[in-house]
Structure 1
Amino acid sequence: MSRLALALPPWLAHALRAQRGPVPWSAVVRGALAAGPLLLAAVLVDRVSVGVVAALGAMLAGINDRPGSRRVSVKRLGVPALAGAAGLFLGTYLGAHAGAVVLTLGLTGLGLVAGAVSAVGTVASGAGTQLLVAAAIGAGMPLPEAGWQRALFFAGGAGWLIVLRLALPTPSALVSDFRFDGERDAVAAVYDAIAALLSAVGDEAATARRAALTAALDHAQDALAGPRLRRYASSSAERRLRAQYAAALPLAEAATALAWAEDALPERAAEGPRRLAVAVRTGEPCGPLPAPSRSVPGLRALDDALLHAAEAFDRGGGKNSGTNSPKSSPGARSSHGDASETSPLDLGTQRTARYGPRLRPLRAKVPLLIRTITGAGGREYGFRVALCFGASAAVAQALHHVHWYWLPATTVFLVKPDLGPLVSRVLNRAAGTLFGAVVFAGFAAVLPRPEGLVALVALSGALIPVATRHFAAQTAVVTVLVLSLVMVGGDPQASWSRIGETLLACAIVLLVGHLPVPGQRGGNVRARLGRATEAAHAYLAHVLSGADDRAARWALRREAYRTLAEARAAIDRASAELPALARHTEGTDEVAATLERLVDTTTACAVHLDDTGRLTPRHTGRLATLLDELVEQRERAGLAEPPANLLSA
């Protein structure tokens, strides 16, 4: 498949690409227990329409049910569900009291707002999607319940899945407290990524391993970002996990600096992080940590970080407590004197622990959110979503189709840029709908009603967590589920009309996606690159200022790498568009690569300054070269000049 993908154009190769990984059996069980049982209960009490709405809420929540911690799942599933309930209420009101023209204008306005908000991030994108899908369903689906009742039952269906997510244990929960299995796996993955990077130092794979470390840190940061993780944690398990996450930050910094130096390391250097990863997962003592050679600043920083990690694990309590003290570990050698003065646990409480692992307090995030929504990325996305959603609603009503709401609802999924390039989404949506409709037609011909259709809903719900790895597979499963709900609700078999609506939605989105828009194209990519440049500047300025606040430095480093990863993801999606769209972001991948090397070099400078108090000509020369390259590449890509204080740094 990899050789074939290399021979295909990017837009087609992306359409064939699927995510890999183990089957999320816990999510499969939750999916089977969500929409199907809700629909069955409604059928048994003769309130089928209520069951259909609740099952829709559970289905849309199931699409957002991804691996992670329980505390994060509340926001990931709950915020979009609340937006969907609001959309269902507004759509029902508009459909009942507004004419065709006012309804179309109202849906277009909702599309503009939801599209702009979707540019903020993953959760906001899910909220915008459910708001619009539910608004279209509320406006067009004939149901006997009032708008507020529909919204309540929709939220109840999503809430049932959230209850399952919080209550049901996962396989890894057998090891320790099941409430924190997601957090535990995420923190352990950070130590695994650190060990993998150290093993790859001096190799071609080092760059990819550093990117994997960034992804692991991002995931752990999100996993620990729950409402209960505050300055004073409510349990020893939370205190231990917070300490273990904080202890990984200096280790990640040292590993990145060693990768920048490109001098191969003995396998012994990676053994310590590996043992720490096992200790996180099992709750058992990590044992003595092998001490790396202290021949260069990066290795001395790694040794010190291992010492501090051992102390942080001990201070976190639990089974590790008192079993791996710095005095007894062969790795417990430090040039900093009393380890407690610079322990990551103590430093973390200065800043990061106050707000959990989040990097900024809420008051600092609000201006950024507003700037994102009203910026180039939010405006461009909002404009396209509004135009597609409004146009599809107008066309659907003009056709006087009984299921006219399917057309705008389908358009919402097609216009979402975070699901992949435009042409990839269209191809996968068309193929998935065709396959799902044909499969459902076969089942509908032989299954008893409604029992067989309820079972088909439960089966489809169980398949959604696996199908989300590829957009065509997800579309096929959702098509089967939706058509089953429609038939249980009393409507006739609608497979073929569903295919026609989808193809029409594909045509609308393709047309609107290639229309010229006011301003410069690629606004989302440019906005994310701009935030990454600002974050890199803040990190570089802090390191070169000589400030001794390491907690602040680690927070700035995390922000720099996280914004770069987000920019990279947006650039990769844009580069896989058709040439007519991909040309608007040409050269941005080079800018992102230079920013990554700049942040890596800044990390190496920070470690060297900690050890010697001064920079070598290699460090200063590399910084100057990268800053010059950044100016040239941004000019070629048509981007604004980087901040003047970044160039003068």
Structure 2
Amino acid sequence: MGDQHDVDEGRDGRGRVRLTPPQWLVSGLRPQNTPIPWPAVGRAGIALAAPLAVGFATDQAAYGALVSMGALSGVIGDTADAYRMRVFNIAVPQLFGAIGVTLGTLVYGDGWLAVGALTLVALVSGMISSIGAVASVSGLLLLLNAVVGAGLPMPSPWWKAPLLLSIGGLFVLLLSLLAWPLRNRVPERAAVASTYRAAADLLEAAGGTAYDAKRQAVTQSLNTAYDLVLARRTRDHGRRSPLVRLLAQLNVVIPLVEAAPAAHLRGRPLPAEIPAAVRELAAAVEEGRTGPVPDLELPEPGKPSERAVDAALRHAAVVVHKPDPDPYNVDDRLGRPAALRIRLRRGARNVLLSESSWRYGLRLALCIGLAQSLVSLVPVPRSYWVALTVTFVLKPDFGSVFSRAVLRALGTAVGLVTAAAVLSEVPRGWWDVPVMVVLAALIPAFSAKGYAFQTAAITPVILLLSDLLNHQGFHLVLPRLWDSLIGCGISLVAGYLLWPESWHTRIGDRLADAVADAAAYVEYAFASAAGDDAERVRRRRRIYRDLSVVRSEFQRALTEPPPTGARASAWWPLVVAVERIVDATTAARVRVNHGAPPPTSAEVADASRELRELAEGLRASSTLVSVHAALAGEESGVLAPLRHEISAARAIASPGGA
């Protein structure tokens, strides 16, 4: 990844030099290899077309268009698997969207008052977006609907627009919940089964080059499964609930995952019977099968790592097949959400006291203020599209601002071609209904492929709905292209170039925190043989969650132009090294649990000190000048692999190491 340049050079078959666009520019144009969510495709087509049909039937086309706009917001937010999460993902943002369109409607046509109001809304929207996923979508709809309300004529009185938009969002929610009685707990069960399959893939990759990638997949799968199961567990405290079974089945996969690093250090693949047995457990979980515990035909274990895998697999088989697992032996502290009042208090503290929250809020407010000021000074027809573009481009958790601006411009251009064909060839009226069925169905299908594809799908839908409100027809197309380019330009200059955020502050500090947590994890893992094993598991999962966030930041930075992209590429091996340090610590603990001699307190203290020095060096924005002398030479003992990984991490952080 470190060979990214402004232009990549290569040679064709005749030896001629050919120039190709840089990786950071074209990465977003490659469609992601993800399956099309067909149920969401069907819901989108119905949710956006049905309100139009009702509007035409009642001779209230504008009302139908507003309901469809609300449904569009619901379709964009309908991304959760679990039904309870869909309620939060769709219903809560709709409330903020209703507030936003109300504020926008109140300042419609008021010039500089609208500039000030939208700037303030942008500040609040940006700040609350830092709380979490649902708050992020809520902040997005708050600002988007405020911009639409301030830029498009809305029916009077003031309460009609928010009511109609909310009806559209709730219609999407209703459609998404229709299968709840038939598929209750299916998403949670499928997520737990998927975790078992990911663990099987991890064990199959032990000792090979694909191990790191499989470990990341297991981490993501565990995070998803715990989020789904424990989100429902917050309201289900029964000791005999089916959720107790799912939680017990999920908890017992942890020892398997922990045994994998120890098996990987053996340097050779595990017998094929082991991953096959785990996949059979995954099938039993997904089908809800119980009954006699199967007699697993596994090779006789010899070394501590082999005994760890064998013991974990046999215990998992008992829990998966046992009709009634011990309900008092289910620890749901491995990821159970805190009480609502605690989460609200944390969220408020994060919004008001977080530097990153204020930084993003001010950046978004500046760009929206500039966009609204520009269209107030320069006559731009239906100018709301400029601020709309700024909002989509500056969405913080969707990717790099730079790449999103480029992809937004390209996606809008493609979408406008489709919109031009529709607006010029399809007569307004009932023909809009079948056209909307097709265009709306493309949104979830294209959204799964990437941001540029999503933009290309959403653009003609918004333009068609806007035309039902302002009746500009084909003349709406070209101004939208210029508006999009203006919005992308404002985002690039005022939201990107004028905010040279320190790459080290955004990524290096988070990586340093993960290294410091790894040091504490090493100390806790070997502080006492009688330590709280569940607490050790929680600490390990917390580190991997933090490293997942760091990975996301790195992937975002890799899509930015030099020097940020090149620097992120150079530091990427350090992220992998920290993950391997945590793996090596877990492997050492597992080996000790199954008969290997424990390390001395001096060895543990030395390893922890090396990690803390590495963390301090990363925070100080300075490179470590050398590898500690104690790491040289051959080592033995259970912590030898851990010391080796620490040595590798410090070598990467040394001058010339990256």
TM-score when normalising by structure 2: 0.83
What is the rounded CA distance, in whole Å, between the counterparts of 1:91 and 1:381 in structure 2?
Answer: 22
Where 2:461 maps in the other structure, the secondary structure is helix
Give the length in aligned residue pairs: 602
Match of 2:575 in 1: 592
Q: Does 1:220 align with 2:231?
A: no
Structure 2 counterparts to residues 117-516 of structure 1, below 5 A: 117-168=128-179, 178-227=183-232, 229-230=234-235, 232-233=237-238, 236-285=241-290, 287-291=294-298, 293-315=300-322, 317=324, 346-349=328-331, 351-352=333-334, 357-358=335-336, 360-362=338-340, 365=343, 369-370=347-348, 372-373=350-351, 374-468=353-447, 469-493=449-473, 494-516=476-498
**Cα distance, 1:82 vs structure 2:** 2.1
User: Measured at CA, do residues 405 and 350 of structure 1 come closer, stay the same or move farther in structure 2, by a change above 3 Å?
Assistant: closer
Q: RMSD of the TM alignment (CA)?
A: 3.3
Q: C-alpha offsets along residues 472-531 of structure 1, whole Å, 9 cap, x if unaligned? A: 211111111011112223521211111111011111111113334497456543564465
What is the rounded CA distance, in whole Å, between the counterparts of 1:634 and 1:608 in structure 2?
Answer: 33
**Equivalent residue letter for 1:32:** G
Q: C-alpha offsets along residues 207-243 of structure 1, whole Å, 9 cap, x if unaligned? A: 1110111111111122224345545349854333222
Greater displacement, 87-96 / 478-487 = 87-96
**Equivalent residue letter for 2:336:** R
* Percent pairwise identity: 31
Q: Does 1:112 align with 2:123?
A: yes
Q: Does 1:45 align with 2:58?
A: yes
**Cα distance, 1:158 vs structure 2:** 1.2
What is the rounded CA distance, in whole Å, between the counterparts of 1:267 and 1:626 in structure 2?
Answer: 36
User: Measured at CA, do residues 72 and 588 of structure 1 come closer, stay the same or move farther in structure 2, by a change above 3 Å?
Assistant: farther
User: Measured at CA, do residues 619 and 416 of structure 1 come closer, stay the same or move farther in structure 2, by a change above 3 Å?
Assistant: farther
Match of 1:93 in 2: 106
**Cα distance, 1:454 vs structure 2:** 2.4
What is the rounded CA distance, in whole Å, between the counterparts of 1:568 and 1:399 in structure 2?
Answer: 42
**Cα distance, 1:372 vs structure 2:** 4.3
Contact 1:454–1:484 (Cα < 8 Å) also in 2: no
**Equivalent residue letter for 1:278:** A
**Cα distance, 1:560 vs structure 2:** 1.3
**Cα distance, 1:190 vs structure 2:** 0.5
What is the rounded CA distance, in whole Å, between the counterparts of 1:577 and 1:267 in structure 2?
Answer: 42
**Equivalent residue letter for 1:33:** I
User: Measured at CA, do residues 519 and 269 of structure 1 come closer, stay the same or move farther in structure 2, by a change above 3 Å?
Assistant: closer
User: Measured at CA, do residues 306 and 450 of structure 1 come closer, stay the same or move farther in structure 2, by a change above 3 Å?
Assistant: same
Where 1:349 maps in the other structure, the secondary structure is coil
User: Measured at CA, do residues 383 and 516 of structure 1 come closer, stay the same or move farther in structure 2, by a change above 3 Å?
Assistant: same
Greater displacement, 126-135 / 84-93 = 84-93
**Equivalent residue letter for 1:484:** L
Q: Does 1:24 align with 2:3?
A: no
Greater displacement, 105-114 / 145-154 = 145-154
What is the rounded CA distance, in whole Å, between the counterparts of 1:242 and 1:393 in structure 2?
Answer: 50
**Cα distance, 1:457 vs structure 2:** 2.0
Q: C-alpha offsets along residues 547-584 of structure 1, whole Å, 9 cap, x if unaligned? A: 53333322222221111101111111112211155478
Q: Does 1:611 align with 2:611?
A: no
Contact 1:197–1:259 (Cα < 8 Å) also in 2: no
What is the rounded CA distance, in whole Å, between the counterparts of 1:298 and 1:570 in structure 2?
Answer: 34
Structure 2 residue ranges without an equivalent (≥5): 11-19, 625-645, 647-658
**Cα distance, 1:201 vs structure 2:** 0.7
Counterpart of 2:556 (choices 561, 564, 573) is 573
Match of 1:559 in 2: 542
TM-score when normalising by structure 1: 0.84
User: Measured at CA, do residues 502 and 116 of structure 1 come closer, stay the same or move farther in structure 2, by a change above 3 Å?
Assistant: same
Match of 1:327 in 2: none
**Equivalent residue letter for 1:156:** I
Match of 2:69 in 1: 56
Greater displacement, 236-245 / 366-375 = 366-375
Q: Does 1:14 align with 2:27?
A: yes
What is the rounded CA distance, in whole Å, between the counterparts of 2:501 and 2:417 in structure 1?
Answer: 43
Contact 1:377–1:524 (Cα < 8 Å) also in 2: no
What is the rounded CA distance, in whole Å, between the counterparts of 1:598 and 1:365 in structure 2?
Answer: 31
Where 1:467 maps in the other structure, the secondary structure is helix
What is the rounded CA distance, in whole Å, between the counterparts of 1:45 and 1:536 in structure 2?
Answer: 64
Where 1:224 maps in the other structure, the secondary structure is helix
Q: C-alpha offsets along residues 219-274 of structure 1, whole Å, 9 cap, x if unaligned? A: 11222243455453498543332222222222222223423554431112212211
Contact 1:239–1:316 (Cα < 8 Å) also in 2: no
**Equivalent residue letter for 1:277:** A
What is the rounded CA distance, in whole Å, between the counterparts of 1:239 and 1:513 in structure 2?
Answer: 47
Contact 2:247–2:332 (Cα < 8 Å) also in 1: no
What is the rounded CA distance, in whole Å, between the counterparts of 1:137 and 1:567 in structure 2?
Answer: 35
**Equivalent residue letter for 1:434:** A
User: Measured at CA, do residues 147 and 602 of structure 1 come closer, stay the same or move farther in structure 2, by a change above 3 Å?
Assistant: farther
**Cα distance, 1:131 vs structure 2:** 1.1
User: Measured at CA, do residues 528 and 133 of structure 1 come closer, stay the same or move farther in structure 2, by a change above 3 Å?
Assistant: farther
Match of 1:329 in 2: none
What is the rounded CA distance, in whole Å, between the counterparts of 2:549 and 2:23 in structure 1?
Answer: 20
User: Measured at CA, do residues 289 and 496 of structure 1 come closer, stay the same or move farther in structure 2, by a change above 3 Å?
Assistant: farther
What is the rounded CA distance, in whole Å, between the counterparts of 1:538 and 1:34 in structure 2?
Answer: 51
**Equivalent residue letter for 1:61:** G
What is the rounded CA distance, in whole Å, between the counterparts of 2:52 and 2:487 in structure 1?
Answer: 28
